[in-house]
């Protein structure tokens, strides 16, 4: 090999080239690069690649998370609320208990994945099986539960006691007896209770002053909204035993003046609404 080709200079390279005109070998130098120049070149390439990657990430959407996929699959049954929490609802009309079970499993998974969890749950429909209440204790941040038109027994209702952190319960157009009231009364953390009691005969159980006394015994209950016909004075006297209620809303065609007279016994009561009319001055 020609000695001129083997003579290396720092960051300077040569190669042999044979001239076609005169046949002479000539060393054609490639421009000399300093270390600083090389560093600048490599830095420029790195910056260009970084910018290209950033632009690519901006124009390419991130793949959906498991949480987003669950929300999409559940459709309108799950609504995101301010703060990141979720409200979920299911209607049992035309839905089998097995389908409801699968729905609940998906909502439980959403509760586990989301930062704030599922805050509110609504169960509607006669075909919603009472055993579904056994799984509600698995929710880590459930605060409000609404149950409409469901056939739950008093033993099913006792499962609600196991929902840690439940603050609000709406129980609408379901069977509601003294036994149901006794089970709900053991939900020690409830702050708000709303009962829409459907008309029922004595064969399915009764609700009377004993059941109302169970509600009045709830130490942390602050708000009661009660919709029911068939109220009487003994029921109101039992309700007046409450030491925690500050707000009462009662709607009933059987309300009378004599029934209202006992309500001032609730010393801490601040707001009273009877058949949609707020009583500004409580009777003395």
**pLDDT interval class at 17 (50, 70, 90):** very low
Range of the domain at 235: 170-176+183-284
Does residue 244 or residue 206 have the better pLDDT? Answer: 244
Q: Is residue 57 part of a domain?
A: no
Rounded distance between C-alpha atoms, residue 93 and residue 208, angstroms: 31
Q: Is residue 82 part of a domain?
A: no
Q: Is residue 282 part of a domain?
A: yes
Q: Is the pLDDT of residue 267 over 80?
A: yes
Please report the pLDDT score of residue 30 as a whole number: 53
Mean pLDDT of all residues in 171-191: 92
Please report the pLDDT score of residue 5 as a whole number: 44
Does residue 255 or residue 216 have the better pLDDT? Answer: 216
Q: Is residue 13 part of a domain?
A: no
Q: Helix/strand/coil (H, E, C) string of the chain?
A: CCHHHHCCECCEEEEEEECCCCCCEEEEEECCCCHHHHHHHHHHHHHHHHHHHHHHHHHCCCCCCHHHHHHHHHHHHEEECCCCCEEEEEECCCCCHHHHHHHHHHHHHHHHHCCCCEEEEEEECCCCCHHHHHHHHHCCCCCEEEEECCCCCHHHHHHHHHCCCCCEEEEEEECCCHHHHHHHHCCCCCCEEEEEECCCCHHHCCCCHHHHHHHHCCCCCCEEEEECCCCCHHHHHHHCCCCCCCEEEEECCCCCHHHHCCHHHCCCCCEEEECCEEECCCCC
Percent of the chain with pLDDT over 90: 30
Highest mean pLDDT among 69-83, 117-131, 239-253: 239-253
pTM comes to 0.73
Q: Is residue 206 part of a domain?
A: yes
Q: Is residue 117 part of a domain?
A: no
Task: Please give the mean pLDDT across all residues of the chain.
Answer: 81
Q: Is residue 73 part of a domain?
A: no
Q: Is residue 142 part of a domain?
A: no
Radius of gyration of the chain (CA): 37
**pLDDT interval class at 19 (50, 70, 90):** very low
Percent of the chain with pLDDT over 70: 81
Q: Per the structure, how many domains does the chain have?
A: 1
**pLDDT interval class at 22 (50, 70, 90):** low
Highest mean pLDDT among 108-122, 182-196, 257-271: 182-196
Mean pLDDT of all residues in 92-102: 76
Does residue 13 or residue 216 have the better pLDDT? Answer: 216
Please report the pLDDT score of residue 213 as a whole number: 96
């Amino acid at each position: 090999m020609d000695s001129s080709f083997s003579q290396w200079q720092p960051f300077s390279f040569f190669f042999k080239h044979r001239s076609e005109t005169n046949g002479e070998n000539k060393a054609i130098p490639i421009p000399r690069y300093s270390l600083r120049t090389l560093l600048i070149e490599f830095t420029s390439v790195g910056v260009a690649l970084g910018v290209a990657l950033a632009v690519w990430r901006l124009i390419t959407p991130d793949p959906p998370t498991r949480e987003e996929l669950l929300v999409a699959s559940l459709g309108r049954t799950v609504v995101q609320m301010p703060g990141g929490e979720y409200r979920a609802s299911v209607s049992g009309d035309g839905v089998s208990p097995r389908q409801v079970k699968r729905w609940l499993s998906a909502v439980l998974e959403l509760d586990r994945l989301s930062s704030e969890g599922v805050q509110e749950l609504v169960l509607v429909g006669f075909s919603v099986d009472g055993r579904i209440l056994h799984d509600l204790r698995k929710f880590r941040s459930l605060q409000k539960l609404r149950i409409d038109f469901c056939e739950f027994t008093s033993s099913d209702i006792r499962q609600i006691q196991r929902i840690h952190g439940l603050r609000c319960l709406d129980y609408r157009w379901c069977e509601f007896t003294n036994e149901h009231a006794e089970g709900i009364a053991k939900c020690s953390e409830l702050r708000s209770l709303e009962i829409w009691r459907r008309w029922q005969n004595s064969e399915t159980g009764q609700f009377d002053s004993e059941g109302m006394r169970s509600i009045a015994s709830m130490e942390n209950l602050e708000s009661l909204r009660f919709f029911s016909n068939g109220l009487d004075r003994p029921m109101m006297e039992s309700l007046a035993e409450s030491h925690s209620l500050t707000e009462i809303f009662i709607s009933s065609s059987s309300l009378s003046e004599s029934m209202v007279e006992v309500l001032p016994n609730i010393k801490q009561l601040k707001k009273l609404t009877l058949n949609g009319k707020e009583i500004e001055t409580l009777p003395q």
